Structure 1
Amino acid sequence: MAPATPAAPKPETLAAFEAAKGFMPVREGLALYEAAVSAARELGLPLLEVGTYCGRSAILLADAAREAGTVAVTVDHHRGSEEQQPGWDYHDPEVVDPEVGLMDTLPTFRRTLHKAGLEEHVIAIVGRSPQVAKMWGGKVGLVFIDGGHTDEHATNDYEGWAPHLAVGGLLVIHDVFPDPVDEWTGQAPYRVYLRALASGAFSEVSATDSLRVLRRTGQGI
Protein backbone atom coordinates (compact mmCIF):
# COMPACT_ATOMS: atom_id res chain seq x y z
CA MET A 1 0.00 0.00 0.00
CA ALA A 2 1.34 3.42 -0.95
CA PRO A 3 1.92 5.81 1.94
CA ALA A 4 -0.78 8.41 2.53
CA THR A 5 -0.20 11.79 0.93
CA PRO A 6 0.72 14.35 3.62
CA ALA A 7 -1.94 16.93 4.34
CA ALA A 8 -1.06 20.27 2.77
CA PRO A 9 -2.56 23.72 3.28
CA LYS A 10 -4.38 25.49 0.49
CA PRO A 11 -2.12 27.68 -1.69
CA GLU A 12 -3.68 30.85 -0.26
CA THR A 13 -3.08 29.63 3.29
CA LEU A 14 0.54 28.83 2.55
CA ALA A 15 0.97 32.23 0.88
CA ALA A 16 -0.47 33.95 3.97
CA PHE A 17 1.88 31.94 6.19
CA GLU A 18 4.92 32.91 4.13
CA ALA A 19 3.88 36.58 4.11
CA ALA A 20 3.33 36.75 7.87
CA LYS A 21 5.93 38.13 10.26
CA GLY A 22 7.62 35.30 12.17
CA PHE A 23 10.43 32.78 12.27
CA MET A 24 9.06 29.33 11.40
CA PRO A 25 10.49 27.93 8.14
CA VAL A 26 8.14 26.48 5.53
CA ARG A 27 9.28 22.86 6.04
CA GLU A 28 8.50 23.00 9.73
CA GLY A 29 5.25 24.81 9.03
CA LEU A 30 4.12 22.04 6.71
CA ALA A 31 4.94 19.45 9.37
CA LEU A 32 2.97 21.45 11.94
CA TYR A 33 0.02 21.67 9.57
CA GLU A 34 0.05 17.93 8.95
CA ALA A 35 0.10 17.25 12.70
CA ALA A 36 -2.74 19.72 13.27
CA VAL A 37 -4.91 18.19 10.57
CA SER A 38 -4.29 14.70 11.95
CA ALA A 39 -5.14 15.70 15.52
CA ALA A 40 -8.20 17.69 14.52
CA ARG A 41 -9.63 14.94 12.34
CA GLU A 42 -8.98 12.14 14.83
CA LEU A 43 -10.15 13.86 18.01
CA GLY A 44 -12.23 16.86 16.96
CA LEU A 45 -10.83 18.84 19.89
CA PRO A 46 -9.35 22.36 19.95
CA LEU A 47 -5.78 22.86 18.75
CA LEU A 48 -3.78 24.91 21.24
CA GLU A 49 -0.66 26.99 20.64
CA VAL A 50 1.59 28.55 23.27
CA GLY A 51 3.45 31.49 21.74
CA THR A 52 1.47 33.47 19.16
CA TYR A 53 3.90 36.27 18.28
CA CYS A 54 2.45 37.75 15.06
CA GLY A 55 0.35 34.77 13.98
CA ARG A 56 2.52 32.99 11.42
CA SER A 57 1.94 29.48 12.79
CA ALA A 58 -1.58 30.34 14.00
CA ILE A 59 -2.57 30.63 10.33
CA LEU A 60 -1.79 26.95 9.82
CA LEU A 61 -3.54 25.83 13.00
CA ALA A 62 -6.60 27.89 12.13
CA ASP A 63 -6.80 26.43 8.65
CA ALA A 64 -6.52 22.88 10.02
CA ALA A 65 -9.20 23.67 12.62
CA ARG A 66 -11.48 25.10 9.94
CA GLU A 67 -11.17 21.96 7.85
CA ALA A 68 -12.11 19.74 10.81
CA GLY A 69 -14.86 21.92 12.27
CA THR A 70 -13.00 22.77 15.46
CA VAL A 71 -11.07 25.84 16.63
CA ALA A 72 -7.49 26.96 17.20
CA VAL A 73 -6.62 28.56 20.53
CA THR A 74 -3.48 30.65 20.81
CA VAL A 75 -2.02 31.92 24.10
CA ASP A 76 0.45 34.79 24.43
CA HIS A 77 0.96 37.87 26.58
CA HIS A 78 2.10 39.65 23.40
CA ARG A 79 4.94 41.49 25.15
CA GLY A 80 7.58 39.38 23.40
CA SER A 81 9.78 36.61 24.73
CA GLU A 82 13.25 37.28 26.11
CA GLU A 83 15.10 37.09 22.79
CA GLN A 84 12.73 39.66 21.22
CA GLN A 85 13.49 42.49 23.63
CA PRO A 86 15.59 45.56 22.71
CA GLY A 87 19.25 44.72 22.30
CA TRP A 88 18.66 41.15 21.10
CA ASP A 89 19.05 39.88 17.54
CA TYR A 90 15.35 39.00 17.21
CA HIS A 91 14.03 42.37 18.34
CA ASP A 92 11.69 44.02 15.84
CA PRO A 93 11.05 47.73 16.52
CA GLU A 94 8.00 47.61 14.24
CA VAL A 95 6.06 45.75 16.96
CA VAL A 96 6.89 48.13 19.82
CA ASP A 97 3.99 50.20 21.15
CA PRO A 98 5.35 53.79 20.93
CA GLU A 99 3.03 54.99 23.67
CA VAL A 100 4.15 52.54 26.39
CA GLY A 101 7.55 51.59 24.96
CA LEU A 102 6.92 47.85 25.20
CA MET A 103 6.53 45.05 22.68
CA ASP A 104 2.94 44.57 21.56
CA THR A 105 2.45 41.95 18.87
CA LEU A 106 -1.33 41.71 19.30
CA PRO A 107 -2.28 44.31 16.64
CA THR A 108 0.03 42.67 14.08
CA PHE A 109 -1.39 39.24 14.96
CA ARG A 110 -4.94 40.46 14.43
CA ARG A 111 -4.04 41.95 11.06
CA THR A 112 -2.35 38.68 10.09
CA LEU A 113 -5.49 36.65 10.78
CA HIS A 114 -7.71 39.20 9.05
CA LYS A 115 -5.61 39.13 5.89
CA ALA A 116 -5.70 35.32 5.90
CA GLY A 117 -9.50 35.28 6.37
CA LEU A 118 -9.22 33.08 9.45
CA GLU A 119 -10.32 35.30 12.34
CA GLU A 120 -13.46 33.32 13.11
CA HIS A 121 -11.52 30.07 13.51
CA VAL A 122 -9.18 31.33 16.24
CA ILE A 123 -9.67 32.13 19.91
CA ALA A 124 -6.86 34.43 21.01
CA ILE A 125 -6.13 34.46 24.73
CA VAL A 126 -4.00 37.36 25.94
CA GLY A 127 -2.26 36.20 29.09
CA ARG A 128 0.66 34.28 30.52
CA SER A 129 0.72 30.60 29.72
CA PRO A 130 0.90 29.19 33.29
CA GLN A 131 -2.02 31.33 34.45
CA VAL A 132 -4.17 30.40 31.46
CA ALA A 133 -3.32 26.70 31.84
CA LYS A 134 -4.48 26.74 35.46
CA MET A 135 -7.93 27.97 34.53
CA TRP A 136 -8.33 25.83 31.40
CA GLY A 137 -11.10 23.29 31.99
CA GLY A 138 -11.16 20.94 29.00
CA LYS A 139 -9.07 18.70 26.81
CA VAL A 140 -7.27 19.66 23.61
CA GLY A 141 -6.21 17.55 20.66
CA LEU A 142 -2.88 19.28 20.04
CA VAL A 143 -0.49 21.34 22.14
CA PHE A 144 2.11 23.33 20.23
CA ILE A 145 4.86 24.69 22.51
CA ASP A 146 6.60 27.66 20.91
CA GLY A 147 6.77 30.27 23.67
CA GLY A 148 9.68 31.44 25.78
CA HIS A 149 12.95 29.57 25.39
CA THR A 150 14.30 29.70 28.94
CA ASP A 151 14.08 26.55 31.03
CA GLU A 152 11.56 28.26 33.29
CA HIS A 153 9.20 29.22 30.50
CA ALA A 154 9.49 26.04 28.43
CA THR A 155 9.03 23.87 31.52
CA ASN A 156 6.03 25.88 32.66
CA ASP A 157 4.44 25.52 29.23
CA TYR A 158 4.94 21.76 29.27
CA GLU A 159 3.80 21.25 32.86
CA GLY A 160 0.83 23.56 32.38
CA TRP A 161 -0.53 22.21 29.11
CA ALA A 162 0.57 18.58 28.67
CA PRO A 163 -1.97 17.38 31.27
CA HIS A 164 -4.74 18.98 29.19
CA LEU A 165 -3.74 17.00 26.10
CA ALA A 166 -6.12 14.13 25.40
CA VAL A 167 -4.72 10.62 25.12
CA GLY A 168 -4.07 10.14 21.40
CA GLY A 169 -3.42 13.86 20.98
CA LEU A 170 -0.22 15.40 19.68
CA LEU A 171 2.44 17.39 21.51
CA VAL A 172 4.44 19.52 19.09
CA ILE A 173 7.63 21.24 20.28
CA HIS A 174 9.48 23.86 18.24
CA ASP A 175 13.17 24.81 18.32
CA VAL A 176 14.44 21.43 19.49
CA PHE A 177 18.21 21.46 18.98
CA PRO A 178 20.03 18.35 20.25
CA ASP A 179 23.40 19.84 19.29
CA PRO A 180 24.26 23.07 21.20
CA VAL A 181 26.19 24.23 18.13
CA ASP A 182 22.92 24.49 16.19
CA GLU A 183 20.74 26.19 18.78
CA TRP A 184 19.98 29.91 18.72
CA THR A 185 18.05 30.57 21.92
CA GLY A 186 19.07 27.77 24.27
CA GLN A 187 18.24 24.10 24.60
CA ALA A 188 15.24 24.37 26.90
CA PRO A 189 12.82 23.01 24.25
CA TYR A 190 15.16 20.05 23.71
CA ARG A 191 15.14 19.30 27.44
CA VAL A 192 11.34 19.46 27.47
CA TYR A 193 11.28 17.05 24.52
CA LEU A 194 13.53 14.62 26.39
CA ARG A 195 11.41 14.93 29.52
CA ALA A 196 8.24 14.13 27.58
CA LEU A 197 9.79 10.98 26.11
CA ALA A 198 11.21 9.93 29.49
CA SER A 199 7.77 10.24 31.10
CA GLY A 200 6.57 7.17 29.22
CA ALA A 201 3.41 9.04 28.25
CA PHE A 202 4.61 10.01 24.77
CA SER A 203 5.98 8.33 21.67
CA GLU A 204 7.68 10.18 18.83
CA VAL A 205 5.76 10.55 15.59
CA SER A 206 8.08 12.68 13.46
CA ALA A 207 11.03 15.06 13.41
CA THR A 208 11.32 17.84 10.83
CA ASP A 209 14.39 20.00 11.36
CA SER A 210 13.77 21.57 14.82
CA LEU A 211 10.10 20.51 15.03
CA ARG A 212 9.19 17.38 17.00
CA VAL A 213 5.79 15.71 17.03
CA LEU A 214 4.93 13.34 19.89
CA ARG A 215 1.73 11.40 20.52
CA ARG A 216 0.31 11.09 24.00
CA THR A 217 -0.12 7.36 24.56
CA GLY A 218 -0.83 7.25 28.28
CA GLN A 219 -0.84 8.89 31.68
CA GLY A 220 2.13 9.70 33.91
CA ILE A 221 3.01 13.20 32.71
Structure 2
Amino acid sequence: MSVPAPEILAAFEAAKGFMPAGEGLALYEAATEAAKLGLPLLEVGTYCGRSTILLADVARQAGTVAVTVDHHRGSEEQQPGWEYHDETVVDPEVGLMDTLPTFRRTLRKAGLEEHVIAVVGRSPQVAKVWGGQLGLVFIDGGHTDEHATNDYEGWAPKVAPGGLLVIHDVFPDPADGGQAPYRIYLRAIGSGDFEEISVTDSMRVLRRR
Protein backbone atom coordinates (compact mmCIF):
# COMPACT_ATOMS: atom_id res chain seq x y z
CA MET A 1 0.00 0.00 0.00
CA SER A 2 1.27 3.47 -0.90
CA VAL A 3 1.30 5.88 2.02
CA PRO A 4 2.42 9.51 2.19
CA ALA A 5 5.62 10.48 3.95
CA PRO A 6 5.16 11.66 7.56
CA GLU A 7 5.63 15.32 6.63
CA ILE A 8 2.96 15.08 3.91
CA LEU A 9 0.52 13.36 6.25
CA ALA A 10 1.22 16.02 8.88
CA ALA A 11 0.52 18.78 6.35
CA PHE A 12 -2.72 17.04 5.36
CA GLU A 13 -3.86 16.74 8.97
CA ALA A 14 -2.96 20.38 9.69
CA ALA A 15 -4.85 21.75 6.68
CA LYS A 16 -8.34 23.16 7.01
CA GLY A 17 -10.90 20.73 5.61
CA PHE A 18 -13.23 17.85 6.29
CA MET A 19 -11.66 14.65 4.91
CA PRO A 20 -10.80 12.04 7.57
CA ALA A 21 -7.34 10.51 7.48
CA GLY A 22 -8.61 7.07 6.46
CA GLU A 23 -10.32 8.41 3.37
CA GLY A 24 -7.28 10.55 2.63
CA LEU A 25 -5.09 7.45 2.60
CA ALA A 26 -7.55 5.75 0.24
CA LEU A 27 -7.37 8.76 -2.07
CA TYR A 28 -3.57 8.69 -1.94
CA GLU A 29 -3.52 5.02 -2.84
CA ALA A 30 -5.90 5.57 -5.75
CA ALA A 31 -3.91 8.54 -7.01
CA THR A 32 -0.68 6.55 -6.84
CA GLU A 33 -2.19 3.85 -9.03
CA ALA A 34 -3.76 6.31 -11.46
CA ALA A 35 -0.55 8.31 -11.79
CA LYS A 36 1.08 5.33 -13.52
CA LEU A 37 -0.85 6.39 -16.64
CA GLY A 38 1.25 9.55 -16.76
CA LEU A 39 -1.82 11.78 -17.02
CA PRO A 40 -2.98 14.66 -14.81
CA LEU A 41 -4.87 14.01 -11.58
CA LEU A 42 -7.89 16.29 -11.21
CA GLU A 43 -10.12 17.13 -8.28
CA VAL A 44 -13.42 18.97 -8.38
CA GLY A 45 -13.98 20.80 -5.12
CA THR A 46 -10.78 22.14 -3.57
CA TYR A 47 -11.90 24.18 -0.55
CA CYS A 48 -8.67 24.96 1.33
CA GLY A 49 -6.47 22.26 -0.19
CA ARG A 50 -6.52 19.43 2.35
CA SER A 51 -6.96 16.67 -0.25
CA THR A 52 -4.90 18.59 -2.81
CA ILE A 53 -1.81 18.00 -0.69
CA LEU A 54 -2.15 14.26 -1.25
CA LEU A 55 -2.77 14.52 -4.99
CA ALA A 56 0.07 16.99 -5.41
CA ASP A 57 2.53 14.78 -3.58
CA VAL A 58 1.63 11.84 -5.81
CA ALA A 59 1.91 14.05 -8.89
CA ARG A 60 5.33 15.26 -7.76
CA GLN A 61 6.64 11.72 -7.43
CA ALA A 62 5.10 10.56 -10.71
CA GLY A 63 6.24 13.53 -12.79
CA THR A 64 2.72 14.66 -13.59
CA VAL A 65 0.50 17.43 -12.17
CA ALA A 66 -2.54 17.82 -9.94
CA VAL A 67 -5.30 20.05 -11.28
CA THR A 68 -7.89 21.57 -8.96
CA VAL A 69 -11.21 23.05 -10.05
CA ASP A 70 -13.13 25.30 -7.66
CA HIS A 71 -14.77 28.73 -7.72
CA HIS A 72 -13.56 29.18 -4.13
CA ARG A 73 -16.82 30.82 -3.00
CA GLY A 74 -17.84 27.79 -0.95
CA SER A 75 -20.52 25.18 -1.47
CA GLU A 76 -24.09 25.44 -0.23
CA GLU A 77 -23.45 24.03 3.24
CA GLN A 78 -20.53 26.44 3.77
CA GLN A 79 -22.54 29.62 3.38
CA PRO A 80 -23.50 31.86 6.35
CA GLY A 81 -26.01 30.20 8.63
CA TRP A 82 -25.14 26.68 7.49
CA GLU A 83 -23.40 23.90 9.40
CA TYR A 84 -19.98 24.13 7.76
CA HIS A 85 -19.62 27.91 7.54
CA ASP A 86 -16.25 29.29 8.60
CA GLU A 87 -15.97 33.04 9.15
CA THR A 88 -12.19 32.91 8.82
CA VAL A 89 -12.45 32.29 5.07
CA VAL A 90 -14.82 35.18 4.33
CA ASP A 91 -13.35 38.10 2.36
CA PRO A 92 -14.22 41.13 4.54
CA GLU A 93 -14.09 43.50 1.58
CA VAL A 94 -16.77 41.79 -0.48
CA GLY A 95 -18.52 39.81 2.26
CA LEU A 96 -18.25 36.50 0.38
CA MET A 97 -16.35 33.32 1.05
CA ASP A 98 -12.95 33.15 -0.60
CA THR A 99 -10.98 30.02 0.16
CA LEU A 100 -8.33 30.69 -2.50
CA PRO A 101 -5.85 32.55 -0.24
CA THR A 102 -6.04 29.79 2.38
CA PHE A 103 -5.64 27.17 -0.33
CA ARG A 104 -2.51 28.85 -1.65
CA ARG A 105 -1.04 29.07 1.86
CA THR A 106 -1.80 25.38 2.38
CA LEU A 107 0.19 24.40 -0.70
CA ARG A 108 3.01 26.80 0.17
CA LYS A 109 3.40 25.34 3.65
CA ALA A 110 3.48 21.82 2.20
CA GLY A 111 6.08 22.80 -0.43
CA LEU A 112 3.85 21.62 -3.27
CA GLU A 113 2.85 24.79 -5.14
CA GLU A 114 4.73 23.94 -8.31
CA HIS A 115 2.98 20.60 -8.70
CA VAL A 116 -0.55 22.04 -8.80
CA ILE A 117 -2.50 23.91 -11.44
CA ALA A 118 -5.35 25.71 -9.71
CA VAL A 119 -8.27 26.50 -12.00
CA VAL A 120 -10.60 29.09 -10.47
CA GLY A 121 -13.99 28.65 -12.08
CA ARG A 122 -17.20 26.66 -12.07
CA SER A 123 -16.89 22.99 -12.83
CA PRO A 124 -19.27 22.77 -15.84
CA GLN A 125 -17.57 25.70 -17.58
CA VAL A 126 -14.09 24.30 -17.01
CA ALA A 127 -15.13 20.81 -18.13
CA LYS A 128 -16.43 22.20 -21.42
CA VAL A 129 -13.01 23.60 -22.34
CA TRP A 130 -10.90 20.75 -20.98
CA GLY A 131 -9.75 18.73 -23.96
CA GLY A 132 -7.42 16.05 -22.62
CA GLN A 133 -7.77 12.75 -20.81
CA LEU A 134 -7.18 12.38 -17.07
CA GLY A 135 -5.66 9.61 -15.01
CA LEU A 136 -7.90 10.37 -12.04
CA VAL A 137 -11.00 12.46 -11.43
CA PHE A 138 -11.91 13.07 -7.79
CA ILE A 139 -15.44 14.45 -7.39
CA ASP A 140 -15.89 16.30 -4.10
CA GLY A 141 -17.72 19.47 -5.08
CA GLY A 142 -21.23 20.73 -4.37
CA HIS A 143 -23.59 18.09 -2.97
CA THR A 144 -26.84 19.18 -4.59
CA ASP A 145 -28.16 16.98 -7.38
CA GLU A 146 -27.51 19.77 -9.87
CA HIS A 147 -23.86 20.20 -8.94
CA ALA A 148 -23.05 16.52 -8.47
CA THR A 149 -24.69 15.66 -11.79
CA ASN A 150 -22.84 18.45 -13.58
CA ASP A 151 -19.54 17.25 -12.11
CA TYR A 152 -20.20 13.66 -13.15
CA GLU A 153 -21.41 14.50 -16.66
CA GLY A 154 -18.61 17.01 -17.22
CA TRP A 155 -15.67 15.02 -15.93
CA ALA A 156 -16.36 11.26 -15.90
CA PRO A 157 -16.09 11.04 -19.72
CA LYS A 158 -12.58 12.49 -19.48
CA VAL A 159 -11.22 9.62 -17.35
CA ALA A 160 -8.84 7.63 -19.54
CA PRO A 161 -9.32 3.88 -19.99
CA GLY A 162 -7.79 2.27 -16.92
CA GLY A 163 -8.04 5.57 -15.06
CA LEU A 164 -9.93 6.10 -11.83
CA LEU A 165 -13.08 7.96 -10.86
CA VAL A 166 -13.21 8.69 -7.14
CA ILE A 167 -16.42 9.95 -5.54
CA HIS A 168 -16.51 11.31 -1.99
CA ASP A 169 -19.39 11.47 0.49
CA VAL A 170 -21.27 8.47 -0.90
CA PHE A 171 -23.92 7.57 1.68
CA PRO A 172 -26.35 4.78 0.76
CA ASP A 173 -28.35 5.55 3.92
CA PRO A 174 -29.99 9.01 3.79
CA ALA A 175 -29.60 9.24 7.57
CA ASP A 176 -25.83 9.44 7.11
CA GLY A 177 -25.69 12.27 4.56
CA GLY A 178 -26.91 13.81 1.33
CA GLN A 179 -27.81 11.52 -1.53
CA ALA A 180 -26.52 13.37 -4.61
CA PRO A 181 -23.02 11.78 -4.55
CA TYR A 182 -24.62 8.37 -4.00
CA ARG A 183 -26.85 8.88 -7.02
CA ILE A 184 -23.95 9.71 -9.34
CA TYR A 185 -22.08 6.72 -7.94
CA LEU A 186 -25.01 4.49 -8.87
CA ARG A 187 -25.12 6.14 -12.28
CA ALA A 188 -21.41 5.43 -12.85
CA ILE A 189 -21.81 1.78 -11.86
CA GLY A 190 -24.95 1.43 -13.95
CA SER A 191 -23.30 2.92 -17.03
CA GLY A 192 -21.13 -0.14 -17.52
CA ASP A 193 -18.15 2.16 -18.05
CA PHE A 194 -16.80 1.80 -14.52
CA GLU A 195 -16.18 -1.00 -12.04
CA GLU A 196 -15.79 -0.47 -8.32
CA ILE A 197 -12.38 -1.41 -6.96
CA SER A 198 -12.44 -0.10 -3.38
CA VAL A 199 -14.67 1.30 -0.65
CA THR A 200 -13.35 3.27 2.33
CA ASP A 201 -16.08 4.77 4.49
CA SER A 202 -17.78 7.28 2.16
CA MET A 203 -15.08 7.06 -0.54
CA ARG A 204 -15.73 5.01 -3.68
CA VAL A 205 -12.97 4.26 -6.19
CA LEU A 206 -14.04 3.13 -9.67
CA ARG A 207 -11.90 2.09 -12.61
CA ARG A 208 -12.81 2.97 -16.18
CA ARG A 209 -13.07 -0.16 -18.29
* Fold conserved between structures, TM > 0.5: yes
Partner of 1:62: 56
Where do 1:23-172 residues align within 5 Å?
23-41=18-36, 43-172=37-166
In structure 1, C-alpha distance between the alignment counterparts of 2:176 and 2:84, rounded to whole Å: 16
Alpha-carbon displacement from aligned partner over 1:122-164 (angstroms, at most 9, x marks no partner) = 0000000000000001000000000000000000000000111
Number of aligned residue pairs: give it: 209
Partner of 1:196: 188
1:117 Cα deviation (Å)? 0.2
Unaligned runs of 5+ in 2: none
Of residues 10, 32, 40 in structure 1, which corresponds to 2:5?
A: 10
SS of structure 1 residue aligned to 2:192: coil
SS of structure 2 residue aligned to 1:74: strand
In structure 1, C-alpha distance between the alignment counterparts of 2:154 and 2:23, rounded to whole Å: 24
Matched AA of 2:122: R
SS of structure 2 residue aligned to 1:78: coil
Alpha-carbon displacement from aligned partner over 1:85-116 (angstroms, at most 9, x marks no partner) = 00001000000000000000000000000000
Alpha-carbon displacement from aligned partner over 1:21-65 (angstroms, at most 9, x marks no partner) = 000000000000000000002x01000000000000000000011
Structure 1-normalised TM-score?
0.94
1:119 Cα deviation (Å)? 0.2
SS of structure 1 residue aligned to 2:84: coil
SS of structure 2 residue aligned to 1:73: strand
1:178 Cα deviation (Å)? 0.3
1:181 Cα deviation (Å)? 1.2
Deviating beyond 3 angstroms after TM superposition, the runs of 4 or more aligned structure 1 residues are: none
In structure 2, C-alpha distance between the alignment counterparts of 1:187 and 1:56, rounded to whole Å: 23
Unaligned runs of 5+ in 1: 1-5
1:182 Cα deviation (Å)? 1.1
In structure 2, C-alpha distance between the alignment counterparts of 1:181 and 1:79, rounded to whole Å: 27
Of residues 8, 11, 16 in structure 2, which corresponds to 1:21?
A: 16
> How many percent of aligned residue pairs carry the same amino acid?
83
In structure 2, C-alpha distance between the alignment counterparts of 1:50 and 1:127, rounded to whole Å: 10
In structure 2, C-alpha distance between the alignment counterparts of 1:40 and 1:89, rounded to whole Å: 35
SS of structure 2 residue aligned to 1:14: helix
In structure 1, C-alpha distance between the alignment counterparts of 2:70 and 2:167, rounded to whole Å: 16
